[in-house]
Amino acid sequence: MINIDAHNHVRGKSIYLDDIQELQGTLYALPFDATVAHAKIKSLNLEAALHRKGIVTILTAKDIPGENQIGGILPDEPLFADGEVHFRGQVIALIIGTSEHHCRQAAKLIEVVYEELPVITDAREAQKQDKLIIPPRSFKLGNTSEAWSQCDHIFEGRTDVNGQEHLYIETQGAYARPKEDGSIIISSSTQGPTAVQRMVARVLGIPMHKVEIDTVRLGGGFGGKEDQATPWAVMVALASQLLHKPVKMAMHRMDDMRMTGKRHPYSADFKIGLTKDFKIVAYEVTHYQNAGAAADLSPAVMERTLFHSTNAYFIPNVIAKAYSCKTNLPPNTAFRGFGGPQGKFVIEAAIVKAAESLGVSPAVIQKANLVVDGDELSYGQILQQVEARNAWESCMEKYDYESQKKRVVAFNASNSRYKKGLAIQPICFGISFTNTMMNHARALVHIYHDGSVVVSTGAVEMGQGVNTKMLQIVTETFGIPNHRVRIESTNTLRVANTSPTAASAGADLNGKALQMACVALSDRLKAVAQKEYSDATIDLKEEKVFANGVPTDISWNDLVMKAFTQRVALSENSHYSTPTIHYDKTKEKGHPFAYHVYGTAIHEVTVDCLRGTYDFDSVNIVHDFGKSMNIDIDNGQIEGGLVQGIGWMTLEEIIYNNQGRLVSNALSTYKVPDIYSVPKEINIIHLDTQGHELAIKKSKAVGEPPLMYGIGAYFAIRDAVKAFNPNVEFAVNAPYTPEKVLMDLYKKS
């Protein structure tokens, strides 16, 4: 089934934040940010700016009626810098004017005097100086110090992996309008309406019931609007509350890139030990997460790095340790994979290093160590319904990897200028918020007495197709066509206390809640029909009541009207919380994930060894969807996630200088994949599996896992570079830009 939004999207009729019709008198807000990365603010002079044409007011920390605090996990992030700034791009003031242009002109007139302080941009440097967001955490399994003696081979190394700009094509934005009695409505382009609501209430010093957040859809999120849509919504809410006027902000791209955090860069040290038959016996890894200047979601991201430090491999002795390091960069945040990709990158690098040293293909080591049913991961979860080997073997067989490998070897033997590289990337990704208390959702369903249905859940549509999946649940349960059902905006008045749409769990959590609501309503409607067909089995399908499989003359409309006249409740609000999951942080053990998603990808790349450029010939994937409830949407998630992962590993390069200034600050200097840079072929085969009871309709979560196939792109390029320049040691430092490729091709030992 095609995404239900597609028709409006292609006709330009879908409404995003900046498309909401502005009320008369709407004012525009422009954040004014720090131009140094760490300093005391000695003085702030707004006078000239305040007197400029079109300026209504300029707000600073002193104008905040409640708390100047928007930190979600830790209260360490002021809305407006107060006395000190900790990163370039930190907002100091909010300029309100009658147009964005006026605000921009006024911004040039604001004078700030800074007393500059030392700037740290590197995670390891921050760790040395003991600048940490939270104390370090360690996951342990077995006993590594004893295990090293059982190893025939031990390798150590370091990896570095850069961050990633979300580059949602719709920038951040929000629009606040006053309501009566001091309450307020804010349209926000956010993945987490409740988080926005909570922070607006905190900063304004009003109860949450006075704050309504409404989200129709996002023009892309990818994690970048999970926590970091909040400040902008709070700012326009503050201005609107103080001025009693509608206030809007739709950020300029360069402001967005400069002021918001990104995927976390990580540095890591690893030590891996193997037996002579390539079994990994022990693995130690220390991750240095570059968190930026405030916690944001970094502690949770760091946690997922630890959860995924051994990817799809069973290793009996593990120590995985992580530091969340505080630097003078914008607070880094959620991004598809949420620290998992960074964790997996290191184990893959460790395996490649071992393989290169031992003169075998990395695939030999990967395959020898894939997880199976009953394996215990470092955090204590015993894996069940494991599809790692199934995915691997299907991938090798269905795409005839052996022939592909022979072809590549032959190509490299007969070509001096072009070299091909191969890499296989298995994945194993845990589904659930790792913070157990967040794994719940609600759905509200009204059946109106004309037979039309309206649905609200906590899920936010951002292109991933969650609304389409919600619609499928409703239409399948009630046996009615699509046009009968409307999926409404995500709104905190209709569905409260929601978790953000994140962690790939949006469809599972909200879908399960919605399914419960629909089943409850369906049961009540069937009971109405049962009165007329007392002994029959009642079904609802094809807009009719079926009795014992035979259509009756009671239509859906008749049934709804009968229920209505019999005073049967036609609304339902259901609550779902994921069973079976638990986690004890004091022991770092538990069962945090409802289930895991598996799959394997084979990358083939061709490197032009003269120019240092590369093209991906193909990526062949076998993926464990369970029983996919929507193949069109799920395949789209695989292709899109893969390409985003390849972008992260290849051409997307975030550059901060040593003073914390973002150098790659626009689309002209930060390059995401275009239509010519994606693999020539992407093939997807659905692994035939049973799915999982905790996945909605046994259709496994699909948002984040495919991004991690992209990691293989890095190692495929490395494989090709090695074919050209075989006897030199290369650093592991992603992304593998054409620059790094050329430098490695001609590196001398």
Nearest CA among 687, 685, 605 for reference residue 408: 605
Instruction: Please say which residue, 253 or 486, places its beta carbon nearer to other proteins.
Output: 253
List the beta strands (DSSP E) in 463-570: 485-487, 490-491, 538-541, 544-547, 550-555
Site string for other proteins, 366-405 (x = CB under 8 A): ----------------------------------------
Token pair in block for residue 705: 């896992």
The alpha carbon of 404 is separated from its chain's Cα centroid by a whole number of angstroms, namely 33
Q: Which helix (H) or strand (E) holds 696?
A: none
Nearest CA among 698, 549, 702 for reference residue 626: 698
Instruction: Produce one character per residue of 531-544: b if its CB has 16 or more CB atoms within 10 Å, e if not.
Output: eebeebebbbeebb
Instruction: Please say which residue, 33 or 572, places its beta carbon nearer to other proteins.
Output: 33
Please list every residue from 223 through 282 that binds other proteins, using CB under 8 A: 250, 252-253
Is there binding between residue 222 and other proteins (CB under 8 A)?
yes
Stretch that binds other proteins, among 150-158, 176-184, 218-226, 426-434 (CB under 8 A): 218-226
Site string for other proteins, 410-449 (x = CB under 8 A): ------xx--------------------------------
Contact 45, 263 (CB under 8 A): no
Cα 364 to Cα 172: distance, rounded to the nearest angstrom: 45
- Mapped onto helix, strand or coil, the DSSP state of residue 324 is strand
- State in angstroms the smallest separation of the CB of 566 from other proteins: 40
- State in angstroms the smallest separation of the CB of 183 from other proteins: 27
- State in angstroms the smallest separation of the CB of 378 from other proteins: 32
- State in angstroms the smallest separation of the CB of 414 from other proteins: 13
Q: Binding-site residue total for other proteins (CB under 8 A)?
A: 79
- State in angstroms the smallest separation of the CB of 11 from other proteins: 5
Please list every residue from 498 through 557 that binds other proteins, using CB under 8 A: none
Q: Which of 486, 677, 685, 698 is in the footprint of other proteins by CB under 8 A?
A: 677
> What distance separates the 2 farthest-apart alpha carbons in the chain?
86
- State in angstroms the smallest separation of the CB of 575 from other proteins: 29
Instruction: Please say which residue, 268 or 459, places its beta carbon nearer to other proteins.
Output: 459
Instruction: Please say which residue, 338 or 583, places its beta carbon nearer to other proteins.
Output: 338
Q: Which of 179, 209, 398, 611 is in the footprint of other proteins by CB under 8 A?
A: 611
Q: Which of 610, 659, 690, 731 is in the footprint of other proteins by CB under 8 A?
A: 610
Please list every residue from 67 through 106 that binds other proteins, using CB under 8 A: 101, 104-105
Place of tokens 């790659």: 664
Stretch that binds other proteins, among 134-142, 191-199, 366-374, 460-468 (CB under 8 A): 460-468
| Cα torsion through 193, 194, 196, 199, rounded to 10 | 180
Cα 224 to Cα 263: distance, rounded to the nearest angstrom: 9
- State in angstroms the smallest separation of the CB of 14 from other proteins: 5
User: What angle in degrees, to the nearest 10, is found between the helix axes of 506-530 and 466-478?
Assistant: 20
Q: Which of 218, 355, 396, 473 is in the footprint of other proteins by CB under 8 A?
A: 218
Nearest CA among 505, 518, 517, 520 for reference residue 459: 505
Is there binding between residue 13 and other proteins (CB under 8 A)?
yes
Instruction: Please say which residue, 299 or 710, places its beta carbon nearer to other proteins.
Output: 710
Instruction: Please say which residue, 16 or 564, places its beta carbon nearer to other proteins.
Output: 16
First to last CA, the chain: 55
Q: Which of 34, 49, 147, 167 is in the footprint of other proteins by CB under 8 A?
A: 167
Site string for other proteins, 100-139 (x = CB under 8 A): -x--xx----------------------------------
- State in angstroms the smallest separation of the CB of 663 from other proteins: 5
Instruction: Please say which residue, 168 or 556, places its beta carbon nearer to other proteins.
Output: 168
Please list every residue from 639 through 668 that binds other proteins, using CB under 8 A: 639-644, 651, 653, 655, 663-664, 666-668
Contact 664, 654 (CB under 8 A): yes
Please list every residue from 461 through 500 that binds other proteins, using CB under 8 A: 462-465
The strand pairing partners of 376, in sequence order, are: 382
- State in angstroms the smallest separation of the CB of 656 from other proteins: 11
Contact 703, 506 (CB under 8 A): yes
Stretch that binds other proteins, among 1-9, 71-79, 280-288, 436-444 (CB under 8 A): 1-9
Contact 499, 440 (CB under 8 A): yes
Is there binding between residue 739 and other proteins (CB under 8 A)?
yes
- Mapped onto helix, strand or coil, the DSSP state of residue 487 is strand
- State in angstroms the smallest separation of the CB of 104 from other proteins: 5
Please list every residue from 17 through 46 that binds other proteins, using CB under 8 A: 18-19, 21
Nearest CA among 441, 443, 577 for reference residue 518: 443
- Mapped onto helix, strand or coil, the DSSP state of residue 457 is strand
Q: Which of 43, 62, 483, 676 is in the footprint of other proteins by CB under 8 A?
A: 676
Cα 721 to Cα 742: distance, rounded to the nearest angstrom: 9
Site string for other proteins, 682-721 (x = CB under 8 A): x---------------------------------------
Catalytic residue among 476, 693, 704, 729: 704
DSSP per residue, 189-228: --S-HHHHHHHHHHHHT--GGGEEEEE---S--TTTTTST
Residue 416: burial class (beta carbons within 10 Å; 0-12, 13-18, 19+): exposed
Instruction: Please say which residue, 229 or 302, places its beta carbon nearer to other proteins.
Output: 229
DSSP 62: G
Nearest CA among 653, 646, 650 for reference residue 682: 646
Is there binding between residue 168 and other proteins (CB under 8 A)?
yes
- State in angstroms the smallest separation of the CB of 7 from other proteins: 6
- State in angstroms the smallest separation of the CB of 251 from other proteins: 10
- State in angstroms the smallest separation of the CB of 17 from other proteins: 10
Q: Which of 632, 688, 693, 729 is in the footprint of other proteins by CB under 8 A?
A: 632
Place of tokens 């035939």: 688
Cα 148 to Cα 281: distance, rounded to the nearest angstrom: 8
Instruction: Please say which residue, 493 or 610, places its beta carbon nearer to other proteins.
Output: 610
What is the CA angle 562-564-570, rounded to 5?
Answer: 120
Please list every residue from 196 through 215 that binds other proteins, using CB under 8 A: none
Stretch that binds other proteins, among 25-33, 165-173, 452-460, 500-508 (CB under 8 A): 165-173
Q: Which of 479, 671, 730, 733 is in the footprint of other proteins by CB under 8 A?
A: 671
Stretch that binds other proteins, among 393-401, 553-561, 589-597, 631-639 (CB under 8 A): 631-639
Contact 82, 13 (CB under 8 A): no
DSSP per residue, 20-33: SPPPTT-EEEEEEE
Backbone phi, psi, residue 197, to 5°: -60, -45
Q: Which helix (H) or strand (E) holds 411?
A: helix 401-414
User: What angle in degrees, to the nearest 10, is found between the helix axes of 711-724 and 738-745?
Assistant: 30
Contact 478, 204 (CB under 8 A): no
Is there binding between residue 10 and other proteins (CB under 8 A)?
yes
Instruction: Please say which residue, 371 or 643, places its beta carbon nearer to other proteins.
Output: 643
153-161 and 732-734 beta bridge pairing = parallel
> Does the annotation mark 488 as catalytic?
no
Instruction: Please say which residue, 358 or 678, places its beta carbon nearer to other proteins.
Output: 678
- Mapped onto helix, strand or coil, the DSSP state of residue 149 is helix
Residues labelled as active-site residues: 704
